[in-house]
């Protein structure tokens, strides 16, 4: 009897040992697909969008809580630090403006000999400008100034013959040129920047600006004593009411003719902004590295990146769940999966969380200009921005690098099995760069932008309503799988070709 029991016990112990050995020898490529859980993704995002992180405006204390949180996780997962002086942080200068409570906007409409004030709800119809100085403008005259552009070389000047000194200008975003000619697009692009429009208004003596785009705007360009607010199209329509002109018609005619149509408006406005400018602010990128194991291929690098910053408190919390806590947790998910699965890549893998994207792609520009690995060693950079809704996945790649689609399509077909779109980008950046990968693309790095599609709800852009409840974590989790498997495929390929296919 005892012999039988001993035999059974021995068999059980042998079976347990074999199972343990099988668990330990599971293909790391498969294990990586299940290392990051949906609970991980929800937990990370919940912290990033929490009041503690204050909307993650680069330079703000909330931003540094967010980057410290992610750096600690990189360390816990065993990634090497890729930042300054053996840390995970690559630091850069970053002035920023904090928007505080107390701002407002009123429009004054003439009725007989009186002025009737109309106020507007925040944030649907107005927001304090993210780089406004602190101050108050009371009942100042309004002047419509088109796109606020002075461009002698283009024979275009919205300020010609118009007196705006001491007044509030009403200004459109972007530029009037809507054509496809690459040369003309390049010529007009510098005039798209918010800070250039603000500076031009200051140089013409304007006291403030109403900017026709009701979104939080933390782009750089602070000007002393210059006060501005962002307004909705419906507020712009109210401003034009009674002038005999329709706002959208005037704007469309400027676009069509490329001729300014600026004029004073018989209305006035109050703008008050309560802000604090931090000229000595700092920002950083968070960088973690999984070192390659092959002596020949290890110097080559595959990068996954997404920006961790958002627009902060304006003055209410702007959570930035889709933009871009979604991309941040996808990069984090791939980092955990590949670092903790036992996978040993032949090439080096680098994971970057960019700061300063919302203020003008500052963090990515800094890393591209102060590389921690030579840019020529980067075989591909995969960027993730606002991927958190819908049912399908896709990638955008320049036609000259389109063979990189092969890695993504194989990863999707084998492990993810979502509807997939391969979308060609441009072989040359001729308009204003709007995503972090552009700063590497212009330096010759092949880049990939991952995205999702199929969302039925409206995509929020810089409102307080960009909350975690909007996120579809099933697509986020599959994006982690797609990114992880693509990096595995690229990390171990004998050779990576980024050419036209």
- What are the tens digits of pLDDT across the range 260-277? 999 999 999 999 999 999
**pLDDT beyond 50 at 161:** yes
Residue 459: band (very low, low, confident or very high) from pLDDT cuts 50, 70, 90: confident
pLDDT tens readout for residues 107-117: 999 998 899 99
Final residue belonging to a domain, choices 277, 305, 330? 277
47 lies in the same domain as 152: no
Whole-number pLDDT of residue 478? 98
pLDDT tens readout for residues 40-89: 999 999 999 999 999 999 999 999 999 999 999 999 999 999 999 999 99
Residue 20: band (very low, low, confident or very high) from pLDDT cuts 50, 70, 90: very low
132 lies in the same domain as 75: no
pLDDT tens readout for residues 483-493: 999 999 999 99
Q: With beta carbons less than 8 A apart as the criterion, state whether 425 and 396 touch.
A: yes
Whole-number pLDDT of residue 216? 75
Residues 260 and 290: their CA atoms lie apart, in Å, by 54
Whole-number pLDDT of residue 407? 97
269 lies in the same domain as 286: no
The dihedral sign for the CA sequence 452, 456, 460, 466? negative
Beta bridge mates, 263: 144
% of the chain residues with pLDDT over 90: 85
218 lies in the same domain as 293: no
452 lies in the same domain as 377: yes
474 lies in the same domain as 350: yes
% of the chain residues with pLDDT over 70: 94
The rounded Cα 318 to chain-centroid distance in angstroms is: 14
Mean pLDDT of 317-335: 97
Final residue belonging to a domain, choices 277, 303, 327? 277
Residue 410: band (very low, low, confident or very high) from pLDDT cuts 50, 70, 90: very high
255 lies in the same domain as 401: no
Mean pLDDT of 344-356: 97
314 lies in the same domain as 390: yes
**pLDDT beyond 60 at 126:** yes
Residues in the chain: 501
263 lies in the same domain as 378: no
pLDDT tens readout for residues 128-155: 999 999 999 999 999 999 999 999 999 9
Final residue belonging to a domain, choices 262, 277, 292? 277
286 lies in the same domain as 269: no
Whole-number pLDDT of residue 25? 52
**pLDDT beyond 60 at 373:** yes
Considering the domain boundaries, does residue 361 fall inside one?
Answer: yes
Residues 298 and 301: their CA atoms lie apart, in Å, by 7
Whole-number pLDDT of residue 436? 96
What is the span of the domain harbouring residue 87?
27-94+281-492
Lowest mean pLDDT among 4-13, 58-67, 341-350: 4-13
Considering the domain boundaries, does residue 499 fall inside one?
Answer: no
**pLDDT beyond 70 at 300:** yes
Helix (H/G/I), strand (E/B), else coil: 374: coil
Tokens encoding 19: 């199972």
Number of domains in the chain: 2
**pLDDT beyond 90 at 215:** no
Mean pLDDT of 223-229: 95
Whole-number pLDDT of residue 352? 98
Please give the backbone phi and psi of residue 308, each rounded to the nearest 5 degrees, phi first.
Answer: -95, -15
268 lies in the same domain as 190: yes
Please give the backbone phi and psi of residue 460, each rounded to the nearest 5 degrees, phi first.
Answer: -75, 145
Whole-number pLDDT of residue 375? 98
Kindly report the CATH number assigned to the domain that includes residue 192: 3.50.30.30
Considering the domain boundaries, does residue 7 fall inside one?
Answer: no
Whole-number pLDDT of residue 21? 38
Whole-number pLDDT of residue 26? 63
Considering the domain boundaries, does residue 363 fall inside one?
Answer: yes
Beta bridge mates, 15: none
Give the closest residue to 449 by CA, choosing from 423, 419, 417: 423
318 lies in the same domain as 398: yes
Q: What is the DSSP letter of 60?
A: S
* DSSP assignment of 403-459: GGHHHHHHHIIIII---EEEEE--SS--S---STTHHHHTTT--EEEEEEE---SPP
Give the closest residue to 228 by CA, choosing from 123, 108, 126: 126
Q: With beta carbons less than 8 A apart as the criterion, state whether 303 and 372 touch.
A: no
**pLDDT beyond 60 at 3:** no
Q: With beta carbons less than 8 A apart as the criterion, state whether 282 and 150 touch.
A: no
Please state, rounded to an integer, the average pLDDT across all residues of the chain. Answer: 92
Residues 289 and 303: their CA atoms lie apart, in Å, by 9
**pLDDT beyond 50 at 4:** no
Residues 39 and 236: their CA atoms lie apart, in Å, by 44
Considering the domain boundaries, does residue 479 fall inside one?
Answer: yes
Considering the domain boundaries, does residue 392 fall inside one?
Answer: yes
197 burial level (CB within 10 Å; 0-12, 13-18, 19+): buried
**pLDDT beyond 50 at 12:** no
Tokens encoding 392: 């399908």
């Amino acid at each position: 009897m005892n012999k039988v029991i001993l035999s059974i016990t021995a068999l059980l112990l042998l079976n347990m040992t074999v199972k343990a050995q099988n668990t330990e020898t599971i293909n790391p490529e498969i294990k990586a697909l299940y290392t990051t859980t949906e609970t991980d993704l929800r937990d990370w995002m919940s912290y990033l969008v929490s009041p503690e992180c204050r909307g993650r405006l680069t330079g703000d204390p909330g931003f540094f809580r967010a980057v410290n949180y992610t750096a600690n996780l990189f360390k816990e997962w065993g990634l090497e630090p890729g930042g300054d002086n053996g840390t995970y942080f690559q630091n850069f200068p970053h002035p920023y403006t904090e928007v505080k409570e107390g701002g407002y906007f009123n429009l004054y409409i003439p009725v007989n000999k009186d002025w009737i004030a109309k106020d507007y709800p925040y944030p649907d119809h107005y927001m304090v400008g993210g780089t406004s100085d602190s101050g108050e403008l009371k009942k100042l005259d309004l002047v419509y100034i088109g796109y606020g552009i002075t461009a002698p070389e283009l024979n275009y000047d919205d300020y010609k013959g118009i007196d705006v000194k001491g007044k509030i200008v009403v200004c459109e975003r972007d530029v009037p040129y809507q054509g496809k000619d690459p040369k003309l697009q390049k010529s007009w692009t510098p005039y798209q920047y918010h800070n250039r429009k603000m500076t031009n208004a200051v140089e013409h003596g304007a006291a403030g600006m109403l900017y026709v785009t009701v979104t939080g705007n933390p782009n750089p360009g602070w000007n002393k004593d210059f006060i501005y607010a962002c307004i909705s199209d419906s507020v712009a329509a109210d401003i034009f009411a009674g002038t005999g002109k329709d706002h959208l018609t005037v704007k469309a005619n400027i676009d069509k003719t490329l001729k300014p149509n600026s004029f004073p408006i018989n209305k006035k406005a109050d703008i008050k902004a309560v802000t604090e400018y931090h000229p000595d602010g700092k920002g950083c990128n968070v960088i973690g590295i999984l070192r390659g194991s092959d002596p020949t291929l290890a110097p080559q690098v595959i990068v996954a990146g997404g920006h961790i910053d958002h627009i902060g408190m304006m003055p209410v919390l702007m959570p930035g769940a889709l933009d871009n806590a979604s991309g941040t947790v996808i990069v984090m998910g791939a980092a955990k999966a590949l670092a903790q699965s036992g996978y040993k890549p032949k090439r080096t893998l680098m994971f970057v969380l960019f700061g300063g994207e919302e203020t003008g792609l500052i963090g990515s520009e800094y890393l591209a200009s102060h590389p921690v690995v030579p840019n020529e060693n980067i075989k591909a950079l995969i960027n993730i921005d606002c991927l958190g809704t819908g049912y399908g996945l896709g990638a955008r790649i320049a036609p000259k690098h389109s063979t990189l689609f092969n890695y993504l399509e194989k990863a999707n077909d084998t492990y993810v099995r979502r509807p997939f779109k391969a979308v060609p980008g441009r072989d040359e950046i001729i308009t204003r760069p709007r995503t972090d990968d552009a700063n590497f693309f212009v330096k010759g790095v092949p880049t990939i932008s991952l995205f999702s599609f199929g969302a039925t709800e409206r995509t929020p852009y810089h409102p307080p309503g960009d909350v975690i409840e909007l996120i579809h974590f099933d697509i986020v989790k599959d994006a982690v799988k797609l990114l992880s498997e693509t990096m595995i495929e690229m990390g171990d390929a004998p050779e990576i070709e980024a050419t036209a296919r």
